[in-house]
Chains A and B, each alone.
Chain A
Amino acid sequence: MAQTSDLVRLDTFAKLLCEHARLRPDRAAMRHKDFGIWRTWTWREVAENVRAYAAGLQALGLTRGAKIAIIGANRPALYWSILAAQWLGAVPVPVYADAVADEMAYVLNHAEVTFAAVQDQEQVDKVLSVAEQVPLLSVVLYDEPRGLRDYDHTRLHRIESVIDNGRKLLAADAALAAAIDGERDRGGADDVSIILYTSGTTGRSKGVILSAGGSIAAARDTVGFDKLGERDEVLAYLPLAWVGDHYLNYAQALVAGFCVACPESIETAENDLQEIGPSFYFAPPRVFEALLTRVTIRMEDAGALKRRMFQYFIGVSRRWGEKILNGESVPLGGRLNYWLGNLLVYAPLKNVLGFSRIRVAYTAGEAIGPDLFSFYRSLGLNLKQLYGQTEAFLYVTAQPDGQIRADTVGPAVPNVDIRISESGEVLYRSPGQFIGYYKDTERTAEVMTEDGFIKTGDAGFFDEDGQLKIIDRAKDVGRLGSGALFAPKYIENKLKFYPNIKEAVAFGQGRDFVTCMLNIDLTAVGNWAERNNIPYASYQELAQHPRVYRMLGEHVAEANRGLASEPLMANAQIRRFLILHKELDADDGEMTRTQKVRRGFIAERYKPLIDALYDGSDAADIATEVTFEDGRKGVLAARVRIADAATQPVAAERVAA
């Protein structure tokens, strides 16, 4: 195995790429669906393309240490841009493709990018529109030429022609070829591999600097942990600028040598998932939730026989599925019934969802509802949870096969040390941890302890099995006026487990009682309205419908019953709630790009509503500014009703009695 030992030593992604091209030249490295057909590149082809691309970029003036922005959806050309930049020792800076122009300008400027590799006309327009605010930017590369024919091409280049040009240069000049390979070999473990801008739950985004050696070391640990190899395949549909995509689909692929498939477009991802049938899969809980909602709705529309069969076998799987997956002992009758269910329901269902070949699936980012979690696990999908953050280069903890629970995130992954600070905050030290925030030593110092641990900002504790349990953001765990514990996210998650509730925001810090704002889920509630003959003209009207209030009121009451049963949380029951007239949206700054609510901002923006929640009035007027994707603004005004929720007698009193 002298050959594979090389892979273990290599310390940059460009070197790994070339090693894979040597070890498995004809295995598929990348796929992309274009014009309805999956196109495949082998490792040899990818390495050859990236090498030529690097030569082309060098000819355009990209140098070691320069920053190149990567903007767009998951496409081979953009992944190659990252690789080619790293080959030359330049630093890729992926930027969220759906960022509004202003946000984009900030990141481009802060990172001091001189090059940008973007997907298409939309992104070219966006970059050019902020070009004046980004004086250093000199070259823009694009992948899809459509609509760009008449643009001024003095600073604009098509990626394909840059690669072609590089190929010509390499062929013509052997000395150059040697120099390009020399650039690759000059790279080392201490190089800055990439700067990932965090979505920024609070304030402006920060550039997280990751080293090549650290990134690869972290990826090696998890590749070993989940036994990933060259036969695995993933569908890369997560935002390119998010640490998850860079880790799961880039770093792990280059370490393990598996194939990365890029969907045709974001809208077709679900279809492409079915066609590719990945063996490793990651999705945030909301994706699993949306899938289940859709399956449920479709089953409600199905014929009586199918519906009965579905319900019966889902019952069987709930009873036996997880036990079988965990390798526990199950009576023969249960096994037989489950086998039959697999034949008739689970396998076809998984096939439709594109889950047939999945060996390992992860979810993270938010708490996942126990019902939701066990639904997928009971179908035989090896769904696990991990906990991580950009600063750690993703993984901090992950659940090993067979030790899975919905309410924990697992023990530390190999080579990661975790400790809980006195205030209850989770601290860790990991091989992939970041070097620092780009141009921000102050905030870097804030999150680092003296002995090199990093503060996650999350409050949590280890349960009796040694698995980490996250309660909430450390700074969000607060107290009510009475001194009782108030963990807003814990409450919100309880509410969000109802399919009808898309988002919830709880308030109560320093107040007498807890209140919350809800967002309805338009798919679920809309379907419910259709079935119950409730006409509505707009989201706003549906959200304010009295029967919707009644239905969500029942959900809140049920959540209160759950809270009442937990001694720590019993005092934090929801007394009053309202349903917002609009969806919380990242474009309006109400959520982060990764769909986390920004509670402080919301509290400020909807102050009249919060005042009304606490002063006892039964309705309030609100006018909010909304931002469209092109940056234009409009005003949305509404009258929002406020309702009281049923609460349970506080358990503490009963205990005392």
Chain B
Amino acid sequence: MRAPGDKSGLKAGDTLLAVENVSLTFGGVKAISEVSFDIRKGEIRAIIGPNGAGKTSMLNVVNGFYHPQHGRITYKGQTRARMKPYQAASQGIARTFQNVALFRGMSTLDNIMVGRTLKMHRGLFWQMLRFGPAMAEEIEHRRVVEDIIDFLQIEAIRKVPVGKLPYGLQKRVELGRALAMEPELLLLDEPMAGMNLEEKEDMCRYILDLNNQFGTTIALIEHDMGVVMDLSDRVVVLEYGHKIADGTPDVVKADAKVIDAYLGIERGVSGPSQESEAT
């Protein structure tokens, strides 16, 4: 598979994406308040937190699906005001979803091919013919898709409608579709949710391989602490829309606030939530 993206000219370790003081409200509900963090090129960045902490909202903000009321997002050095998801996609941000969002009636191959849409340039006229530049283009895309199928070891389900596949495989197909965009930044929303141990191990392998071999930057939300602590270079912890910790897995693990948030020792209802109720 091709290594995506030195398009930006960034080196590993440079800031790829910076989120500064972002707040997002839905009516009176404050989903995210004043959160800042960054994602560096080439790292695996985990976003964790209890249910309702605003993790998925955060990803939605990053890929332009939600527009924060306050704060700035800088991606590859460009600060953006408003951006549509397709713009984010064309700039190299791909994602998978918490609940698998594939075209159930279409085959694995076609679903992954969908991920190439933005890279297809020929118009409707050529697309209708079985020869010519559109065909050549299609062959080129198919080659990329076959690389991905090989990478994810899903040859056997190439032509199976994804609706018929078990959940773990659907998740893998969804990852394949995101990879088809040759993303620079890959956002994974709970990639291992609902998987058994073996499927989780496979998925971890793929994430690590992606990161090691192709240098893809990955931001992931995950509830399995073992997975998060093993995979990620740095972890940001959210609770009730606030950032409560940020750092390497070891630092985060030892953080008193994080322990409280997860284990709920002594304090009961924590400070930040009272704040958010007050607003």
CB atoms of A35 and B156 under 8 A apart: no
Q: How many angstroms from the CA of A267 to the CA of B149 in the assembled complex?
A: 14
The minimal Cβ–Cβ distance linking A38 to chain B, given in whole angstroms, is 13
User: Which of the residues A36, A264, A265 comes within 8 Å of B142, measured between beta carbons?
Assistant: A36
CB atoms of A149 and B213 under 8 A apart: yes
**CB neighbours of A37 from chain B (8 A):** 146
CB atoms of B156 and A267 under 8 A apart: yes
User: Which of the residues B143, B147, B155 comes within 8 Å of A267, measured between beta carbons?
Assistant: B155
Known: A35-B146, A36-B149. A268 touches B155 (CB 8 A): yes
Closest CB pairs A-B (n = 6): A267-B156, A35-B146, A36-B146, A268-B156, A264-B155, A268-B155
Interface status of A327 (Cβ within 8 A of chain B): no
Q: How many angstroms from the CA of A302 to the CA of B158 in the assembled complex?
A: 23
Count how many chain A residues have C-beta atoms less than 8 Å from C-beta atoms of the other chain: 12
The chain B residue with its CB closest to the CB of A144 is B150
Q: How many angstroms from the CA of A149 to the CA of B213 in the assembled complex?
A: 9
Q: How many angstroms from the CA of A221 to the CA of B60 in the assembled complex?
A: 69
Interface status of B209 (Cβ within 8 A of chain A): yes
**CB neighbours of A146 from chain B (8 A):** 151
The minimal Cβ–Cβ distance linking B159 to chain A, given in whole angstroms, is 8
The minimal Cβ–Cβ distance linking A621 to chain B, given in whole angstroms, is 27
CB atoms of B213 and A36 under 8 A apart: no
**CB neighbours of B143 from chain A (8 A):** 35
**CB neighbours of A271 from chain B (8 A):** 156, 159
The chain A residue with its CB closest to the CB of B150 is A35
The chain A residue with its CB closest to the CB of B143 is A35
CB atoms of A147 and B156 under 8 A apart: no
Residues of A264-290 whose CB lies within 8 A of B? 264-265, 267-268, 271
Q: A231-267, CB under 8 A of B: which get 1 and which 0?
A: 0000000000000000000000000000000001101
The chain B residue with its CB closest to the CB of A270 is B156
The chain A residue with its CB closest to the CB of B109 is A36
**CB neighbours of B150 from chain A (8 A):** 34-35
9 pairs from A and B in contact (CB 8 Å cutoff): A35-B147, A35-B149, A35-B150, A147-B209, A264-B155, A265-B155, A267-B156, A268-B156, A271-B159
Give 19 A-B pairs besides A146-B151, A267-B155, A268-B156 with Cβ atoms closer than 8 angstroms: A34-B150, A35-B143, A35-B146, A35-B147, A35-B149, A35-B150, A36-B142, A36-B146, A36-B149, A36-B155, A37-B146, A264-B155, A265-B155, A265-B156, A267-B156, A268-B155, A268-B158, A271-B156, A271-B159
Q: How many angstroms from the CA of A34 to the CA of B147 in the assembled complex?
A: 10
Known: A147-B209, A149-B213. A36 touches B158 (CB 8 A): yes
Q: How many angstroms from the CA of A578 to the CA of B159 in the assembled complex?
A: 41
**CB neighbours of A268 from chain B (8 A):** 155-156, 158
The chain B residue with its CB closest to the CB of A35 is B146
**CB neighbours of B146 from chain A (8 A):** 35-37
Q: How many angstroms from the CA of A271 to the CA of B153 in the assembled complex?
A: 15
The chain A residue with its CB closest to the CB of B145 is A36
The minimal Cβ–Cβ distance linking B213 to chain A, given in whole angstroms, is 7
Q: B183-227, CB under 8 A of A: which get 1 and which 0?
A: 000000000000000000000000001000100000000000000
**CB neighbours of A264 from chain B (8 A):** 155
Residues of A129-172 whose CB lies within 8 A of B? 146-147, 149
**CB neighbours of A35 from chain B (8 A):** 143, 146-147, 149-150
Q: How many angstroms from the CA of A271 to the CA of B160 in the assembled complex?
A: 11
The minimal Cβ–Cβ distance linking A356 to chain B, given in whole angstroms, is 19
Residues of A31-64 whose CB lies within 8 A of B? 34-37
Q: How many angstroms from the CA of A37 to the CA of B155 in the assembled complex?
A: 11
**CB neighbours of B213 from chain A (8 A):** 149
Q: A524-548, CB under 8 A of B: which get 1 and which 0?
A: 0000000000000000000000000
**CB neighbours of A267 from chain B (8 A):** 155-156
Q: How many angstroms from the CA of A540 to the CA of B103 in the assembled complex?
A: 35
The chain A residue with its CB closest to the CB of B160 is A271
The minimal Cβ–Cβ distance linking A121 to chain B, given in whole angstroms, is 11
**CB neighbours of A149 from chain B (8 A):** 213
The minimal Cβ–Cβ distance linking A30 to chain B, given in whole angstroms, is 19
Q: How many angstroms from the CA of A36 to the CA of B146 in the assembled complex?
A: 6
The minimal Cβ–Cβ distance linking A13 to chain B, given in whole angstroms, is 30
**CB neighbours of A34 from chain B (8 A):** 150
Q: How many angstroms from the CA of A267 to the CA of B143 in the assembled complex?
A: 21
Q: How many angstroms from the CA of A267 to the CA of B159 in the assembled complex?
A: 13
Residues of A570-591 whose CB lies within 8 A of B? none
Q: How many angstroms from the CA of A149 to the CA of B149 in the assembled complex?
A: 20
Residues of B120-149 whose CB lies within 8 A of A? 142-143, 146-147, 149
Q: How many angstroms from the CA of A149 to the CA of B214 in the assembled complex?
A: 12
Q: How many angstroms from the CA of A34 to the CA of B149 in the assembled complex?
A: 11
Q: How many angstroms from the CA of A654 to the CA of B30 in the assembled complex?
A: 88
Q: Of B147, B150, B151, B155, which is in contact with the most chain A CB atoms at under 10 Å from its CB?
A: B155
